[in-house]
Amino acid sequence: MATTDRSRRTQVAGLYSRWRADPGSVEPAWADFFSALDPEARASLERRETAAGPAKAPAPSADAREAARDSIRAMALIDAYRTRGHLEVRLDPLGRKAIPRHPELDPAYYGFAEDDLDRPIFLDGELGLEEATLREIIASLRRVYCGILGIEYTHIQDPEQRAWIQQRVEGAQYRAVLKPEGKKQILRHLTQAESFEQFIHKKWVGTKRFGLDGAEATIPALEQIVRRASELGIEEVLLGMPHRGRLNVLANVMQKPYRDIFAEFAGNTAAYDDYGSGDVKYHLGTSTDREIDGRKVHLSLTANPSHLEAVDPVVLGKVRAKQDLRNDVERRKVMGLLLHGDAAFAGQGLVAETLDLSELTGYDTGGTFHLVVNNQIGFTTDPVSARSGPYCSDVGKMIQAPIVHVNGDYPEAVVLVVSLATEFLLHFGKDVIVDLFCYRRFGHNEGDEPMFTQPLMYQRIAEHTPVRQGYAAHLRDEGTIEAGEAEGILTNCQARLEQAFEASKELQGNRADWLEGNWSGLEPVTGYDARRGKTAVDLDTLREVGRALTTVPEGFRANRKIVRQLEAKAKALESGEGIDWATAEALAFGTLLIEGQPVRLSGQDSERGTFSQRHAAIFDQQDERRHLFLDHIREHQEKLEVLNSPLAELSVLGFEYGYSLADPRTLVLWEAQFGDFANGAQVVIDQFLTAAEFKWLRMSGIVLLLPHGYEGQGPEHSSARLERFLQMCAEDNIQVANCTTPANYFHVLRRQMHRSFRKPLVLMTPKSLLRHKRCVSRLSDFGPGTGFHRVMYCDELPSDPSEARQIVLCSGKVYYDLVAEREARGQNDVHFLRVEQLYPFPADALAELLQPYGHCHIVWCQEEPRNMGAWEYIEDLIREVAEEAGCELPEPRYAGRPTSAATATGVLARHEAQRAELLDDALTVGKKAVARLAYRRALAAEQAAK
């Protein structure tokens, strides 16, 4: 016997002796247990206690000791089955490997011998039994824990949750037999799943469909999840899933007509005729209203990119938004259901990030159902190369989710398990994971040859009876269906597919569904005009918001430094002068809230603000009570959520993006700690934010706040990689801006909600400018008659434009450096133009503002290195506009840092030297351009002379 076990037994024996000496010296549970085992000793103790107070227990009889030992050992064995039983489950439908016996599931491990098997053991209600023989105990445990499904739940810390599962799996409900109609329903779903794949396989030979063949049990599983959830009150299920089986789910769960899917296979679709670039069919989303047993359930499958798991947080953000829209505070009306591949679930870090959101105040969605379609392979990679742990689902343990592994060749077990998991999810509002073991009948896609890499697995698969056939035979054998009934169901399905195929030939193609439901009233954008929207607010309203912003509630012990800041803020609002960035932002939020538009801002440390600038909420210095200023403007106003997010970019941005997809009336903002960290969320930016409107006809009004600016803080605290965003700009997909005044920031934020369309807004946001004495606005800049400016002159022109010799175009913080340097030099022949919105490029406004500068040299000044920032994007655009405006020398000259591999230097002195040089470059009139102009004039004169 293992030493560990021996020591465990010694420990228990020690407890028993202690209890006998003094019953109060052991845990009450052990005391109860020992006294239940040894009634004689208990009775004697009670007698002596009443006679003469607490007393020593009599020596136990040999029989009692033996019985206690048996019980204790049996308990240890039972616990081992609860914890390790899953390791002896026949999970692989292909049965490729013998299942090794786990030593802790062997009674010998606990000191039991062969002839102990039939001795009755006292169990005190464990496994629902007062007493049983070891043989009976083991049979019962193996039936529950080592059949065709393995349950992992003993890692859950909450005793109530553990007990809930234990009672159900060990109780009768779990072994409940499905009614004949339920079984036939499973057969019908399996038949639909199988015949759909086979039909496409035959009609479009070798075409990629990422079939569900081998994992057909997914369809009855999904049906059952939706059914059980709807029985328990869920009205809306939002699904996210990868490529595998997606067409099948679209057809058989989302009930997208077969005809439409076949038309897409034939390349006959009109969805993108008017708009957009479209996407491959196994990425598309759809939604539908299903009626299940008289109850309505709305199902929606979110479109997703190839990037596996990227859709997870997006779906959950949508779920959260829908819950908020319905005021579903209990989170029992809308539920997320995510499907995963085994390799992706184990491999993609985003899974862990997404699970981590599940119980956080700002991101909780009341529990998500995770169904892993585990075909035991990832493209050509075996599990041994794909993960370190035994299961692909191990990551779920980080949130203590219950995990059930089930053999997909046993569809009744699958249905039972997903039912139970749905009940758990909705009872505890907690994520659950079902790991559906199956296989992939063909290659990764249907054109792939799997025998190249997994010959043995695929020989097995070739010989393996498909699940529908196996289940049909089983139902026939047990008499649930008659001979020929399964074949009848199959013929019916095939006939429906055939009819749909014929109908698809006639199909003119469907128009895409967009701007429906919550999006109705919004419209696609037409034309590139100023699109200012009505963003000005009357002064009284601004002051009203200002009051809420600067009022500390009676008796609230605010931090003294913050009180001083609030006083300064109040003074600025009162005088109407010197309104800073954070105040402008709060005014934008506050005015939206009272106009009926909720605001949701999330990011790392966003509540206080990374730069201690926001203080959206303050905390009582003695009891940490929280006061959220903008929640107290008026009695009837919308809700502001400012959330400190977990330290994760990809999942949080994905979540917020998802939120913005479901709710166009809320201003949704995601803030990066520094803009530099936004590239951790690159997949969401590249695959969703910038492209979704064109791939899937889905708009979003999300705002990205990305602190950006070269201030000597080194390579990872300087650049939000503006160039990357600009490179992705096309077809009017997003907006990119770098505002230089608090008022312009106020207007650009409000503009998001005051137009008839939604577009993501990427904002480079300031750091040092948050406290820069010049970077302030007047209250009147927010008031009547004002709006967002895409291009701006300097605040004060140093001379008449006719006296200028050079016009420097720039964007963002460098403007203030230029102004200071020009002042320091006492120079007045260089004027500045601020490009506040970089995309859509404000060509019309710029051309107009350039008019008075036709005689000037043009310079583009930026603080980023030449291969970064806006230069490569803007050079041609400036030239084209300048030509249009009739500028004499339309080519802009570059003044900025030289090209660089790292985003910024980490050496402060070098940073300063570069800064001085680029400012000097920008303010030195002409430079190389002088020679260029002279040359060009000479050339022109020569030509004129000819």
Q: Which residues bind ligand TPP (CB under 6 A)?
A: 244, 306-308, 341-344, 373, 375, 377-379, 440, 444
Which CB sits closer to ligand TPP, 93 or 378? 378
Q: E strand or H helix at 918, and its extent?
A: helix 908-923
Shortest reach from residue 747's CB to ligand TPP, in Å? 38
Shortest reach from residue 604's CB to ligand TPP, in Å? 24
Shortest reach from residue 281's CB to ligand TPP, in Å? 16
Q: E strand or H helix at 12, and its extent?
A: helix 3-21
Q: How many CB atoms lie within 10 A of CB 395?
A: 23
Which CB sits closer to ligand TPP, 282 or 841? 282
Q: How far apart are CA 873 and CA 892, in angstroms?
A: 12
Which CB sits closer to ligand TPP, 282 or 677? 282
Which CB sits closer to ligand TPP, 444 or 790? 444
Shortest reach from residue 716's CB to ligand TPP, in Å? 24
| Angle separating helix axes 28-37 and 39-52, nearest 10 degrees | 110
741, with CB counted inside 10 A (0-12, 13-18, 19+), is: buried
Which CB sits closer to ligand TPP, 342 or 631? 342
Which CB sits closer to ligand TPP, 263 or 392? 392
Which CB sits closer to ligand TPP, 658 or 675? 658
Which CB sits closer to ligand TPP, 182 or 383? 383
Q: E strand or H helix at 650, and its extent?
A: helix 650-662
Which CB sits closer to ligand TPP, 138 or 239? 239
Q: How far apart are CA 807 and CA 850, in angstroms?
A: 8
Which CB sits closer to ligand TPP, 309 or 631? 309
Q: In a 3-state reduction of DSSP, which class is residue 234?
A: coil
Name the phi and psi angles at 273, rounded to 5. -60, -40
In sequence order, what are the residues at sequence separation of 6 or more whose Cβ sits closer than 8 angstroms to the Cβ of residue 120? 131, 132, 133
Q: How far apart are CA 812 and CA 760, in angstroms?
A: 19
In sequence order, what are the residues at sequence separation of 6 or more whose Cβ sits closer than 8 angstroms to the Cβ of residue 71? 33, 37, 121, 122, 123, 124
Shortest reach from residue 650's CB to ligand TPP, in Å? 11
List Cα–Cα distances, 424 to 171, 269, 419, 773, in angstroms: 15, 42, 9, 57
Shortest reach from residue 304's CB to ligand TPP, in Å? 10
In sequence order, what are the residues at sequence separation of 6 or more whose Cβ sits closer than 8 angstroms to the Cβ of residue 390? 87
Q: How far apart are CA 509 and CA 920, in angstroms?
A: 61
Which CB sits closer to ligand TPP, 388 or 520? 388
Shortest reach from residue 385's CB to ligand TPP, in Å? 12
Shortest reach from residue 348's CB to ligand TPP, in Å? 6
Shortest reach from residue 388's CB to ligand TPP, in Å? 16
Sign of the alpha-carbon dihedral angle for 86, 87, 88, 94: positive
Shortest reach from residue 155's CB to ligand TPP, in Å? 24
Answer yes or no: are the C-beta atoms of 735 and 762 closer than 8 Å: yes
Which CB sits closer to ligand TPP, 301 or 566? 301
Shortest reach from residue 648's CB to ligand TPP, in Å? 17
Residue in the block written with tokens 């997994």? 454
Shortest reach from residue 382's CB to ligand TPP, in Å? 11
Shortest reach from residue 300's CB to ligand TPP, in Å? 22
- Specify the pairing of strand 403-407 against strand 432-437: parallel
Structure tokens at 422: 């749905």
- Fill in the amino acid letter for 482: E
Q: How far apart are CA 381 and CA 237, in angstroms?
A: 32
Beta strands in 788-925 (DSSP E): 791-793, 806-810, 830-835, 837-839, 857-865, 893-897
Say if residue 840 is preceded by a cis peptide, omega within 30 of 0.
yes
Q: DSSP for 537-592, please give it.
A: --HHHHHHHHHHHHPPPTT----HHHHHHHHHHHHHHHHT--B-HHHHHHHHHHHH
Give the CA radius of gyration of the chain: 35
Shortest reach from residue 467's CB to ligand TPP, in Å? 16
**880, 780, 775, 891: which is closest to 834 by C-alpha?**
775
Shortest reach from residue 453's CB to ligand TPP, in Å? 13
Tell how far CA 367 is from the center of its chain: 13
Q: First and final CA of the chain: distance in angstroms?
A: 109
Which CB sits closer to ligand TPP, 138 or 373? 373
Q: How far apart are CA 435 and CA 842, in angstroms?
A: 52
Which CB sits closer to ligand TPP, 376 or 535? 376
The CA angle 596-600-602, to the nearest 5 degrees, is: 170
Shortest reach from residue 285's CB to ligand TPP, in Å? 17
Which CB sits closer to ligand TPP, 70 or 342? 342
Shortest reach from residue 441's CB to ligand TPP, in Å? 12
Which CB sits closer to ligand TPP, 48 or 307? 307
- Specify the pairing of strand 791-793 against strand 830-835: antiparallel
What residue number has its CB nearest to ligand TPP? 341
617 DSSP β-pair partners: 628
Answer yes or no: are the C-beta atoms of 829 and 785 closer than 8 Å: no
Shortest reach from residue 435's CB to ligand TPP, in Å? 12
Which CB sits closer to ligand TPP, 440 or 754? 440
Which CB sits closer to ligand TPP, 308 or 743? 308
Residue 274 per-residue DSSP state: S
